[in-house]
Amino acid sequence: MSSSLHHIRIVLVEPAGALNVGSIARVMKNMGLTQLAIVNPQCEVLGEEATRMAVHAIDLLAAARIVPDLPTALAGCTRVIATTARDRAIPTQLETPRQALPWLVESAEPTALIFGREDSGLTNAELNYATRYIRIPVGSEYSSLNLAQAVGVCAYELQMCVTNPNDNLLTNLTPTSTPTDIAPVEVVEGYYQQLESLLLDIGYLLPHTAANRMEKIRRLYNRSQLSPNEVALLRGILRQVSWAVDTAKSIDPQ
């Protein structure tokens, strides 16, 4: 278990509430988190409302990385968790923050925790960048948590991993089958792109069904948390398949 949370990136996708963004900066700094990335913000990140709520965390807000899309925000990350309020769209069972977050803390490499839009959360495509999924437990009567509260609860659980690891016995039980050497998101993404393009080429995927099928394929590979060597091996196979198909194709039957 790492003794700091500096390697954990909090990623906000298109937040629209400046008060929320400011509150998030404050609670992050309260809980020892330092890395904030904001994908295409829909509000003023350093305006009056955000800085008023950030109080003594304006430095963290000013240092936030503003990026155009989610893959850019996740570059270099080996473990990615997404938060969601829905369970329909998710391939595997949803976990509580307490179950899933120690996995980010115990990593020695950059990791990320993604939060979606206030009104609509994350799209399916965005959810697919993650390998584990968190749903914060809520009561049955009113389930829609404020974005800053959701970040606050997760930030608290992360801080608990560092300061009170014995309060949560699960944190001492690292699943031993988890590979230690996990390829960063953009490396795995390179494989998916190459695979999709080959599958379109040989007619397995059709342009209008590709997204849905690729989602299923991504899920099964994401679950296994590929190492860089494994990605290289899988891409080697794809190259050989492409070569076999193209060589055959280039033989002119006439």
Window 6-25: residues binding its own copies (CB under 8 A): 19, 23
- Interaction of residue 207 with its own copies, rule CB under 8 A: no
- Which residue, 72 or 180, has its beta carbon nearer to its own copies? 180
Among 9, 79, 98, 218, binds its own copies (CB under 8 A): 98
Among 71, 95, 189, 210, binds its own copies (CB under 8 A): 95
- Which residue, 14 or 230, has its beta carbon nearer to its own copies? 230
- Which residue, 68 or 173, has its beta carbon nearer to its own copies? 173
Helix (H) or strand (E) holding 161: helix 147-163
Among 62, 63, 202, 206, binds its own copies (CB under 8 A): 202
- Which residue, 120 or 180, has its beta carbon nearer to its own copies? 180
d(CA 225, CA 188): 9
Q: Which of residues 120-159 bind its own copies (CB under 8 A)?
A: 131-133, 136-146, 148-149, 152-153, 156, 159
Q: How many residues bind its own copies (CB under 8 A)?
A: 87
How far apart, in Å, are the Cα atoms of 234 and each of 121, 199, 207, 243? 32, 14, 23, 14
- Interaction of residue 167 with its own copies, rule CB under 8 A: yes
3-state SS class at 73: helix
- Interaction of residue 88 with its own copies, rule CB under 8 A: no
Cβ contacts of 104 within 8 Å, gap of 6 or more: 8, 79, 81, 111, 112, 113, 158
- Interaction of residue 188 with its own copies, rule CB under 8 A: no
d(CA 35, CA 160): 18
- Interaction of residue 176 with its own copies, rule CB under 8 A: yes
Structure tokens, 161: 């991993």
- State in angstroms the smallest separation of the CB of 30 from its own copies: 5
- Interaction of residue 3 with its own copies, rule CB under 8 A: no
- State in angstroms the smallest separation of the CB of 173 from its own copies: 6
- Interaction of residue 175 with its own copies, rule CB under 8 A: yes
d(CA 146, CA 152): 10
CA angle 197, 38, 107 (to 5 degrees): 75
d(CA 151, CA 130): 17
Among 3, 124, 163, 197, binds its own copies (CB under 8 A): 163
d(CA 10, CA 245): 43
Among 3, 120, 172, 193, binds its own copies (CB under 8 A): 172
- Interaction of residue 117 with its own copies, rule CB under 8 A: no
d(CA 71, CA 190): 11
- State in angstroms the smallest separation of the CB of 124 from its own copies: 17
Question: Are β-strands 8-13 and 111-115 bridged in parallel, bridged antiparallel, or unpaired?
Answer: parallel
Cβ–Cβ under 8 Å, residues 85 and 121: yes
